[in-house]
Chain A
Amino acid sequence: MLKQIRKHRWDYPYLLPALGVMGLLIVYPFFYTIFLSFYDTPSSRPEIFFVGLDNYRELFNDATFQLVVKNTIVWSVFGTLCPFIVGFLAALLVNQKLRGLNFARGLMIVPYAMGFVPASHAWRWILHGDFGVITGTLQSLGLIKDSIPFLQQASLIMPSLIMINTWKSFPFVMIMLYAGLQTIPEALYKAARIDGASSWSQFWEITIPQLSNVLMVTTMLLFIGNMNQFTLIEIMTGGGPASLSEIIVTWIYHASFQTLRFGLASAASVLLFLVLIVFSIFYVRALTRSAVQGG
C-alpha cells in the first residue's frame, strides 16, 4: 500500500486543489452537522450545550415533523411516479419513426432547461386563485364559478406541486429513456413480429426488460432529486400554509434560519443523510450493474 502510494506520489498534486475545496466545503460540513446534532444551540447565547440524543427525541415526538415526513413521502413518491409516466410516454412518442420528432424533443426539453426560480414564479402566476390563467379559462368556459385556490386549499396544494414537478422533470425522464430506447437492437422487435407478438407484448417482453437498468437509474435519480428539492417548494408555498407542503429539506431550512434551532435542524439533516445513503446505494448498484453489462 505504502509502496503504491510512493510510486504514485506525483498523481496526488493534480487532486490537491479539488480535495482541498471538497474537504472544506463538503467533508467538514458533513461531520460538523453530525456533531451539531447532539447540541442545543440557543439563539440568545453564543455557546452550545451538549444534550445527547435530545434533538432526535424531540423530532420523533414532534407532530409537525411527523406531518413533514408524511409530506416528504407523498411528494417524493408521486413527484417521481407522475413525471416518470409522462416522461416514459414522451420517450416512446419521440422514438417513433415519424418526421419532425427531433424538433418536438427539443421543445419538450424547455422545462428542464428553465431554472427553478423563474419557473416557480410563472406557475405561481398561472395557479393564482383569482387571476390565474387556469381559473380564468375555466370560469370563462362556464365550468366553474368560484376561483380555485390551488396553493391555499389543503387538498389541492400537494397535487398542484406534484403537477409542477411533473412539468419540470418529465423531460429528464424522456432524455434518459429515449437514450435507452435507442440502444435496443431493432432485430429483437423484428424477430418478435415474425413470431406474431402484439405491440403490447413486445413492449412488456422486449422494451421493459431491455430498459431495466436505465429505468432503475432514472427512478433513483428522480427520487433522490425530489427528496432534495428546495427551491420549487420554497418559492411556491414556503412550506405553508400550516406546514401542509413542508418537506424535510424546507423544514430544515426554516428550523435553521427562521427559528434558529441549528441543533434540531442538524439532527433532521443526519436522519435525512441516513435515508439518502440507503437510496444512493441502490443507485450506485444500478449504475455499476449497467457498467458491468456494458463491458
Chain B
Amino acid sequence: MTRKQRKALHATVVYALIILLCLFALMPLLWMASTSFKTSSEQFVSPPRWIPQNPTLEHYAKIFFPTRISSGSFQIYFFNSLFISFMTTILALIVALPASYAFSRFSFPGKDAAYFAVLGRNMFPLIVFLIPLFSLMRILGWINTYTGLIVAYMTFTLPLAIWLLKGFFDGIPTELEKAGRIDGCTRFGAFMRLIVPLTASGMTAAGVNTFIQAWNEYGFARQLTESASMRTIPVGLAYFFTENTSDWGGLMASAFLFSVPVVILFMIIQRFFIAALTQGAVKQ
C-alpha cells in the first residue's frame, strides 16, 4: 500500500466509525420525532417505518389545542416547568453570585472547608436528601407549592452555579477592583459596579445551566407535588401513560417538545460549560 492509499483507508475507517457513533447518538431523538408524526395505527406497523407514510400533526394538535384545559394538561405542566425553572435560576444566581465571588477573591478562615462542602453535594444522590427535605417541607407547609419546589431545587443548582461562577471570577484580573477602590468605591461597590457587569457571559452560562437542571428534574418534582395542577412536564410525562394507555405518539410528541429547547440551549452554552467541566481535570 502506498502512503496515499493508507491515508485514504485511515480516513474511511475514521468516518465510518464516526457515522456509526452519530447514528447511535441521534437514533432515540429521531425515532421520537418519527413516532410523534405517525398516526396512532402507523406507530404499530411492522416493519417499522422511519419516515411516516401519512404524516400527521394530530398529537401536536392535542397538546396545543386540547378539547378542554384541565389541571392535567400539557399547558399547565409547561407553565409550571417554565415558572419553576425560571424562578430557580433567578434565586440560584442571586445567592451564588456573592458566594462565588468570595470563594474566588477572599482568603478568610474556613474558606476551603466551605468550598469543599459546596462541591461535596454533587457526590451524593439527590434522592437521599429527599426524605429529610420532605419532612422539612411538611413542617414549613411547602409541600405542593411552587416555593417548596424552587427552594428544594437549590440543593443541586446552587453548588453548580457557585462552581461555574467562581471559574469566571477567577478569570477576571484583580487589578480592576484595586483601581475601583482607589477611585473611592467601597469593596461591595467595586464588586457590584465593576465586576458583576463583566460576568454577563458567566451569568448566562451558569443561568442556562441552572435552568436546564431544574427543567429536567424528576424525583423532587414527583414527590414534593401532590395535585395534577402542580406537576412539571417530567412528572406529567410519567403520568401520561397511566392516563392514556399506549398512546406512544402523544408521549413522544410531548417528550420531543420538551427536549428540543433544552438540546438547543445546551448547544449554545456548551463551549462555556465544557470549558468549566474540563478545567479542573486537564493539565493546562
Contacts and interface: CB of A to CB of B under 8 A. Distances in A.
A15 B128 contact: no
B185 interface: no
Given A17-B98, A269-B128, A294-B284, A121 B255 contact: yes
B87 to A, nearest CB: 14
A293 interface: yes
A189 interface: no
A290 interface: yes
Contact of A14 (B99, B151, B223, B266): B99
B21 A28 contact: no
A293 B280 CA distance: 11
A15 B278 CA distance: 26
Task: Say what secondary structure dominates the interface of chain A.
Answer: helix
Contacts of B29: 110, 114, 122
Nearest to A21: B154
Interface string B38-57: 00000110111000000000
Interface stretch (B60-68, B113-121, B172-180, B198-206): B113-121
* Interface-centre pick from A13, A90, A266, A277 (highest chain B CB count, 10 A): A90
Nearest to B265: A113
A115 B130 contact: no
B274 interface: yes
Interface residues of A, number: 104
A25 B152 contact: yes
B219 A28 contact: no
A119 B132 contact: no
Interface in A272-295: 272-273, 276-277, 279-280, 283-284, 286-287, 290-291, 293-294
A48 to B, nearest CB: 11
Given A17-B98, A33-B131, A118-B237, A11 B106 contact: yes
A290 B162 CA distance: 21
Contact of A136 (B46, B159, B162, B233): B46
Nearest to B25: A108
Contacts of B223: 257
A176 B21 contact: no
Interface in B151-199: 151-152, 154-155, 158-159, 162, 187
Nearest to B132: A29
A138 B258 CA distance: 30
Interface string A253-279: 100110000100110010011001101
B192 to A, nearest CB: 11
Interface in B127-161: 127-136, 151-152, 154-155, 158-159
A100 B177 CA distance: 43
B267 A109 contact: yes
Contact of A93 (B14, B136, B154, B281): B14
Nearest to B278: A179
A125 B238 contact: no
Interface residues on B, range: 35 or more
B109 A131 contact: no
B162 A18 contact: yes
A191 interface: no
B215 to A, nearest CB: 7
Contacts, number: 279
A280 to B, nearest CB: 4
Interface string A14-44: 1101110110111111101100100000000
B108 A228 contact: no
A67 interface: no
A262 to B, nearest CB: 6
Nearest to A262: B131
B253 to A, nearest CB: 11
B258 A118 contact: yes
B106 A256 contact: no
B129 A121 contact: no
A214 B136 CA distance: 39
B48 A136 contact: yes
A180 B58 CA distance: 47
A227 B108 contact: no
A133 B27 CA distance: 10
Nearest to B213: A115
Interface of B: 10-11, 14-15, 17-18, 21-22, 24-29, 31-32, 35, 43-44, 46-48, 94-96, 98-99, 101-102, 106-109, 114, 116-118, 120-121, 123-136, 151-152, 154-155, 158-159, 162, 187, 212, 215-216, 218-219, 223, 233-234, 237-238, 248, 251-252, 255-256, 258-259, 262-263, 266-267, 270, 274, 277-278, 280-284
Given A93-B18, A235-B238, 7 more contacts: A29-B129, A114-B28, A128-B248, A229-B125, A234-B218, A279-B123, A294-B284
Interface of A: 1, 4-5, 8, 10-15, 17-19, 21-22, 24-30, 32-33, 36, 86, 89-90, 93-94, 96, 98, 101, 104, 106-119, 121-123, 125-126, 128, 131, 133, 136-137, 139-140, 167, 170-171, 175-176, 179-180, 183, 213-214, 217-218, 224, 227-231, 234-235, 249-250, 252-253, 256-257, 262, 265-266, 269, 272-273, 276-277, 279-280, 283-284, 286-287, 290-291, 293-294
8 contacts: A18-B162, A109-B25, A113-B270, A122-B255, A179-B278, A231-B218, A257-B223, A290-B282
